[in-house]
Chain A
């Protein structure tokens, strides 16, 4: 093997090795850190795996918001019009959080029944419905037609 070829071989194997390694780590990281979305119906049916964080989405049920005396801990119920899941969140809620609004909460189930949220997302548009929530509601209602509001995005 000529010296030039040897050098090229080293260089090429370094690159191939590096790329393979990075792709492997990338896929591993992707697999480990996927954040699945579940609707209240799926949560009640016990679909989310135990103890792992996931995203819960639906509408904030009318009349379900109550606050503890610390002013920060909020209890509310998320529904897809078929099933309901109670949620606890401590902290400051986004501006558009209100009854009837579509929200997505990130967190874990506690004792299999109450969802403890670390983060609650509501978009900055009163007419915006998170697509996951829209799908969940239409599935729960059995219409099968996703109700979505395209054209958001800034």
Chain B
């Protein structure tokens, strides 16, 4: 009964979103206030219905209702409650429902916070979001209904893939989806602006915190996924350039570009059309990511061709959204373009460089991800594109980006001069010149090396060069970030008091940029100095790795809530004192008793991780094959992402956005008509 209620609620949600997606658009175009007024209540009704549907599915999971096919495939009675709840989004159908739920939540959030915007404008935004929702409800009801019954009901369900039974992965998809779906808000604003034919500073100021929040969720979601892969997959890597990873990374890159171009559009009124285009791209990348991961096209192009219903639906949906919005863009972009002019050496130019490089990186990853699919679809052979392509191309694009970052945060809007620029550094000029020259030289060398490496003329250069360059970039970003703070305090009577007075957005930017530096430290040092050893160990064997020694004590049985395990004991010493005891496991989940799952044991630290995983028992002995790792600074990779996330939250909660809303609300109360376009400040 309950699943039918859920199913019915889904159908009702579809009906409501059809209204939400159409009537307000017509109402806004024709000037029928009754029709535009439907947008807000429709969005709230949609949220109500989708919450009911989601609640029903969760209820089915908790009560082990295996007559629901989706529950039977992804849960069983032995599964801990937490994973029964997170099992709801553990597979295809439920994760779509989660998408729809988040979209409804964001839509209602927009209606709540947008009271300051002109009514027709809000109506258009809500309607565009409604149209996206329609796509998702249709998709669910037509091809992937989570409430489909399985009769007769099995007595016990299949378990959620044991790999996914992990706290990190339980919250990874919701974070990622909040990010994906969050990008639909700037998209809807962009479409509404195109329809409206007007794009003013108020629009941009209003979109910025939403975009940043979506970006924060994406950042943390991707970081969580990477962290999960690191400790769960048992081979110590943190990024594999897997198509599924790329699918989430491409929207992140475009969203990062969007955040920066929004800054230009808000402050200077420039890049308007480009910002609109980026908003469309960012959301298209989110949809493309969903398509790649969910359609089965990655598993096999031919599997997609033999069971095309789902993939075809997403492909058509993607085509409609991307094609439709690009056509609208081509038709209307002229009405929103124009804006502030700027000189060659200015912050605008550097942010343009930022945008070109970030979008270029996204394009490079897109090519590397789709190229094998094209070749396979055309029967031109089976290839895979991996780290040998992605690593150098990505690094080649990121090095100039990091250089530009340091230059950009000190550069002035509109027009800057080199002499004035250097005076912002609190260093004697000649010393500064030496530092800069060294930085440039090293970067040039690395670029040269990478090029040589790509075309394979020379053997790989020593890692010291890579480390030098990586750390030079870290120093450059940190140094310029500090100088930027000092620069802002220069003319203040009391610098210590003035620090507190700096806008929160500025701190957010600094935090995020320093996050990039922290991240780079982690990547550089881990890549260059990790040591790994696979070896056979007998109980009592000691093996030295880096400045630690690992003593293998043997393996014994252990029991978990829904698995049994072989648990190893490895004592780690440094200078004859015990640092830690590690317990790597081979787990056998009761649902799949013949499949071993490697559970690595990790002792994490700020400067190094110690990582042990079990291989296999050597028959006839008490020996095991064991994998030992010493990974310096690897936690800095995720620490850097946390910094970026904090930076994003600080920036999104800057007072100025709230002040702007308040001022606008007052003026909107005074004049009920559409708000006048704000003049951009010079």
Contact = CB atoms under 8 A, between A and B. Distances in A.
Contacts of A36: 381-383
Interface in B616-636: 616, 618-619, 623-625, 627
B366 to A, nearest CB: 11
A93 B596 CA distance: 12
A154 B173 CA distance: 10
A153 B96 CA distance: 15
B299 A153 contact: yes
B396 interface: yes
Contact of A131 (B234, B302, B456): B302
Interface string A109-147: 000000000000000111000011011000000000010
B270 to A, nearest CB: 12
Contacts of A71: 536, 618, 623-625
A153 B293 contact: yes
Interface string B524-537: 00000000001110
A64 interface: no
Contacts of A4: 341
A30 B306 contact: no
B303 A150 contact: yes
Interface string B288-311: 000001101011101110110000
Nearest to A148: B303
A28 interface: yes
A19 interface: yes
B343 interface: yes
15 contacts: A22-B360, A25-B393, A26-B364, A29-B392, A34-B384, A36-B382, A36-B383, A55-B384, A72-B615, A124-B163, A125-B161, A126-B592, A135-B382, A150-B300, A150-B306
B416 to A, nearest CB: 14
B397 interface: yes
Contacts of A70: 536
Nearest to B592: A126
Interface string A44-55: 000000000001
Interface of A: 4, 7, 10-11, 15, 18-19, 22, 25-26, 28-30, 32-37, 55, 67, 70-72, 90-93, 95-96, 124-126, 131-132, 134-135, 146, 148-154
A78 B651 CA distance: 55
A120 B154 CA distance: 37
Contact of B382 (A15, A25, A91, A132): A132
Contact of B393 (A10, A26, A125): A26
A20 to B, nearest CB: 11
Contacts of B534: 72, 90-92
A29 B389 contact: yes
Contacts of B615: 72, 92-93
Contact of A30 (B234, B341, B343, B385): B385
Contacts of B595: 95-96, 126
B356 interface: yes
A92 B627 contact: yes
Contacts of A150: 296, 299-300, 303-304, 306-307
B349 A25 contact: no
A74 to B, nearest CB: 9
Nearest to B586: A95
A34 B383 contact: yes
Interface in B586-623: 586, 592, 594-598, 613, 615-616, 618-619, 623
A154 B364 CA distance: 24
Contacts of A95: 234, 586, 595-598
A25 B299 contact: no
Given A131-B299, A153-B296, A35 B393 contact: no
B344 interface: yes
A131 B300 contact: yes
A94 B396 CA distance: 32
B388 A33 contact: yes
Interface of B: 92, 161, 163-164, 234, 244, 293-294, 296, 298-300, 302-304, 306-307, 341, 343-344, 349, 352, 356, 360, 364, 367-368, 371, 381-386, 388-389, 392-393, 396-397, 451, 454-456, 534-536, 586, 592, 594-598, 613, 615-616, 618-619, 623-625, 627
A59 to B, nearest CB: 17
Contacts of B594: 126
A35 B356 contact: no
Contacts of B244: 153-154
A17 to B, nearest CB: 11
Given A96-B595, A148-B303, A150-B300, A30 B367 contact: yes
Contacts of A92: 534, 613, 615-616, 625, 627
A34 to B, nearest CB: 5
B344 A10 contact: yes
Given A131-B300, A150-B304, 19 more contacts: A10-B344, A18-B356, A22-B360, A26-B393, A28-B455, A29-B388, A32-B456, A33-B389, A34-B383, A37-B381, A37-B383, A55-B384, A71-B624, A131-B302, A135-B300, A148-B299, A151-B92, A154-B161, A154-B164
Contacts of B352: 11, 15
Contacts of B625: 71-72, 92
A35 B454 contact: no
Nearest 3 Cβ contacts at the A-B interface:
A71-B536, A131-B300, A92-B615
Contacts of B451: 25
A29 B627 contact: no
Given A25-B396, A30-B371, A37 B356 contact: no
A35 B163 contact: no
